[in-house]
Amino acid sequence: MNATFDVCALGCVCWDMLGTVEHYPALDEKVALLEFTQHGGGRAGTAAAAVVAMGGQVAVFGRTGDDRFGEYILAEFATLGVNTNGLEIIVGESSQFAFCVAHRQTGERTIFYKHGSMPRIAADEIDLDALTDCRCLLVDSHHPGASIGGARVARAKGVPVVLDAERPEPRLDELFAASDYIIVPAGLVETLGEADETLGRQQMLRHGPAALVVTRGAEGADVYHGQDSFHQPAFSVPEVIDTTGAGDVFHGAFAYCVALGYDLARCAAFASAAAALSTTALGGRGHLPSMAEVKALVHGLDSS
């Protein structure tokens, strides 16, 4: 497919401040941070960064404010090589930011966040031709109107659409219907099925996606396609430091593999390996793995 980008990613971009603690404090208790760092975050933003790290050409679409965090977000994308022509800067508005605390022993994290003050993007407020100038479109649910509009245009042009949805939100069913690859956490599937995961899966599969991927963290992912399914085990890494952003990296790696024309099993394996490798450093972008590292982990090789 003749397109400018391998992946275009539309959705949330933000700034993350991250620390690790020996144990979580009780109310009114102080705990020292063992480590501290800060860098860009957000589902679409970190997915885009993951694509670049693996060798792809990517553009990010969304909104940020003209505040200090917005400056940081844009500067880091420029350093990484992410195209930001589709990232709108809203004058006088604040950017989204988050503070993430990782438990040192397990790598599990807690996230405190504040939405930016920008309104969500509607379908008629974005350049849909530019958004779909890619081999794969990745959308999250942060800007549902724009995501649904972009997904529909992409599918009409034969561009596959990968959806990142993480919680019940308005218009979620429309997003399912407009997407080819639906990637969701097991918790959302259970919620949609009112504690029955089978019913939750059926709600999404009735739209006939090319695949439904249900992620389960350290337990891997289950992939449903047509009448078939398979389990993708999680990959082991020497030490898990922080799971922040691992799901975002999974989505970005999966979308890039779709853009490369990989089969479903390979997409799932490479996405799982990329996500595992991302947990070996603090923050969602603390370690964005290269394609060589991903291939080495998938095939059980030494990447050094």
| Stretch 40-48: mean pLDDT | 97
What confidence score (pLDDT) does residue 161 get? 98
Do 142 and 43 touch, CB atoms closer than 8 A? yes
Q: 5-298: which CATH number, 3.40.50.300, 3.40.50.280, 3.40.1190.20, 3.40.309.10?
A: 3.40.1190.20
H or E segment to which residue 163 belongs:
strand 161-164
Q: In this predicted structure, which of 100-109, 111-120, 212-221 has the lowest mean pLDDT?
A: 100-109
From CA 199, how far away is CA 201, in angstroms rounded? 5
Do 92 and 63 touch, CB atoms closer than 8 A? no
From CA 87, how far away is CA 9, in angstroms rounded? 10
- AA identity, residue 297: L
Q: Which residue shows structure tokens 């885009």?
A: 48
What confidence score (pLDDT) does residue 108 get? 83
From CA 111, how far away is CA 245, in angstroms rounded? 11
Q: In this predicted structure, which of 107-111, 137-141, 188-192, 245-249 has the lowest mean pLDDT?
A: 107-111
Residue 96 tokens read as: 């989204």
What confidence score (pLDDT) does residue 1 get? 67
Minimal CA–CA distance to 287: which of 235, 249, 232? Answer: 249
DSSP letters for 51-111: HHHTT--EEEEEEEESSHHHHHHHHHHHHHT-EEEEEEEETT-PPPEEEEEEETTT--EEE
Crossing angle for the helix pair 264-278 and 246-259, to the nearest 10 degrees? 150
Minimal CA–CA distance to 239: which of 101, 106, 46? Answer: 106
Phi/psi of residue 128, each to 5°? -70, -30
Minimal CA–CA distance to 41: which of 108, 123, 128, 140? Answer: 140
What confidence score (pLDDT) does residue 171 get? 94
From CA 149, how far away is CA 184, in angstroms rounded? 20
What are 142-160's pLDDT values in tens digits? 999 999 999 999 999 999 9
From CA 95, how far away is CA 72, in angstroms rounded? 10
Do 245 and 41 touch, CB atoms closer than 8 A? yes
From CA 165, how far away is CA 184, in angstroms rounded? 5
Tell whether the model's pLDDT for residue 170 goes beyond 90. Answer: no
From CA 78, how far away is CA 240, in angstroms rounded? 28
Would the pTM of this model clear 0.85, i.e. be above it?
A: yes
The DSSP 8-state label assigned to residue 24 in this structure reads: P
What are 207-228's pLDDT values in tens digits? 999 999 999 999 999 999 999 9
| Stretch 189-205: mean pLDDT | 96
Q: Provide the residue ranges of all domains of the chain, joining segments of one domain with +.
A: 5-298
